Structure 1
Amino acid sequence: MTTAIRVLLVDDHALVRSGFAMVLSVEDDIEVVGQAADGRAALAVLAEHPADVVLMDVQMPVLDGIAATREIVAAGLAKVIILTTFDRDDYLFDGLAAGASGFLLKNADPSDLVEAVRAVADGHALLAPEATLKVIARLTQASPGASQDLVAASPATPAIARAVAPRLTPRELEVLELLADGLSNAEIAARLFLGEATVKTHVSNILAKTASRDRVQAVIYAYRNGLHPRG
């Protein structure tokens, strides 16, 4: 039997935590192991109830979500998905620089939340489409305020791109372009009339061929190396 993904919910609003718990608890492969109302309490809960993934609010008393994320990731306690109602660039980039593996707005569909938990637990990064496009814009423009952690994480030189691009099949290039548009696997499957499992295979091949750690790096790779029409 596959071990369930252990999730800790961190938000200073009890109703929000309850809502997330209801969404996740119906999934056979996900278990909510604890809840906390602030970052400091989250660290205390993790000491007693280890988790694989933490769903982290940003604005909280005592210890905010960005600082808590930094401590959790630095200690190797869990992977973190930032969840916020505010579509703010500073939350996005500060959260990613702190080591978050995902960023979603709280108005995301429940299915997106479940997919994010599974993807991050499986070692992938997952960003809301809005966030993906902002990361791309920040890194491709190499703006002075860009996080050095994020800049360092971006792949590949044009020379490598020229060597790798011919190895991408026409279908993989299609999938990469849609990734660069911020589409999820389900949306790509619908657009290309493919099964989600097939899309997942294509994404895995793209990551391997472009030496990208996750789909965000692959998207940045596409933009930086001219493999996207608007790159």
Structure 2
Amino acid sequence: MTALWDTMLVDHDRLFSAALGALISNGPFRIGHHAATVGEAVAAIEAGARPDLIILAAPGGGHGTAADGPDGDGGSGLRRLRHVCDARIAVLAGDVAERPLSQALEAGADAYLDKAMSSESLLRALQLVMLGEVVYPTHVASLLVAAANERPAPTAMLPPSGSELSRREVQILRCLLAGQSNKAIARHLHITESTVKMHFKNVMRKIHAQNRTQAAVWAIQNGLSPLLPA
């Protein structure tokens, strides 16, 4: 039987939230809670809610959302949720832009998704999130890279430890920016999945990253571009 992931929706727009809930309930997700704000979500978790996935609305389209305001401005809402639970967190944005994406990644988002994406793509992305992947649009990564290229370039492409990344490790990070899973990276680079995992372990150690999100942020900040399949 397909696993059901308990899901919490955080959005002040109840109509949209209800429609989204109906949509993703067609997949392996069960809507356990609706919250209008991050504060309500935190209160529900502290009262005993144990979501596997939290879908958090982000600012966009010219109107505020659950991520706005004193309890969710910038990445603070994400950080509050991270503090009270270990659920996977997907940010759903109506206007994909550099600054909020960067804030979401730095605050520990597992996904940054566009409200305009197709229902099939959304379900697939959420399932990848629940399988441990970091998911966000490739074209957004390109925006961040372009922005990074407009800033002064770093003096050296070195991780904090001072140990240079190998050519293969750089390729692994670029594949990560393209949103590829370990299996896809292995297929793209013609290596085994276990070799990909070994390279990821080495990269994480060298750049002092705790997870794939932090590795992606480091790669973006250091000017790496997504490596797309041929």
- On whether the aligned pair clears a TM of 0.5, the verdict is yes
Counting only pairs closer than 5 Å after superposition, residues 189-208 of structure 1 correspond to structure 2 as 199=184, 202=187, 204=193, 205-208=195-198
Question: Is 1:209 matched with 2:199?
Answer: yes
Question: Is 1:7 matched with 2:12?
Answer: no
Instruction: Give the conservation status (yes or no) of the 8 Å contact 1:56–1:81.
Output: yes
Distance 2:161 2:5 in 1: 33
- How much has 1:224 moved relative to structure 2? 5.7
Structure that is richer in helix per residue: 1
Distance 1:208 1:140 in 2: 29
Larger CA deviation: 121-130 vs 102-111: 121-130
- Number of the residue aligned with 1:64: 72
Distance 1:131 1:155 in 2: 25
Cα deviation digits, residues 70-102 of structure 1 (max 9, x gap): 111123342211111112222111112222111
Percent of pairs with identical residues: 17
Question: Is 1:75 matched with 2:75?
Answer: no
- How much has 1:8 moved relative to structure 2? 0.7
For these two proteins, the number of residue pairs brought into alignment is 198
Cα deviation digits, residues 190-230 of structure 1 (max 9, x gap): xxxxxxx9637637553542446438847939x8679959x
- In structure 2, do the counterparts of structure 1 residues 160 and 97 end up closer, same or farther at CA, with 3 Å as the change threshold? closer
Unaligned runs of 5+ in 1: 145-153, 186-196
- How much has 1:142 moved relative to structure 2? 6.3
Counting only pairs closer than 5 Å after superposition, residues 140-159 of structure 1 correspond to structure 2 as 159=164
Instruction: Give the conservation status (yes or no) of the 8 Å contact 1:6–1:53.
Output: yes
- Number of the residue aligned with 2:26: 26
Cα deviation digits, residues 101-139 of structure 1 (max 9, x gap): 110111111122222222222222111223222344455
- In structure 2, do the counterparts of structure 1 residues 156 and 136 end up closer, same or farther at CA, with 3 Å as the change threshold? farther
- In structure 2, do the counterparts of structure 1 residues 83 and 71 end up closer, same or farther at CA, with 3 Å as the change threshold? same
Counting only pairs closer than 5 Å after superposition, residues 45-56 of structure 1 correspond to structure 2 as 45-47=44-46, 48-56=48-56
Q: Which of the numbers 103, 107, 116 marks the counterpart of 1:107?
A: 116
Q: Which of the numbers 130, 135, 141 marks the counterpart of 2:139?
A: 130
- How much has 1:56 moved relative to structure 2? 0.4
Higher RCO (C-alpha 8 Å, min separation 6): 2
Distance 1:138 1:16 in 2: 32
Larger CA deviation: 55-64 vs 42-51: 55-64
Distance 2:134 2:160 in 1: 15
- In structure 2, do the counterparts of structure 1 residues 91 and 201 end up closer, same or farther at CA, with 3 Å as the change threshold? same
Per the normalisation by structure 2, the TM-score is 0.66
- How much has 1:25 moved relative to structure 2? 0.5
* Corresponding residue SS for 1:35: strand
- Number of the residue aligned with 2:95: 86
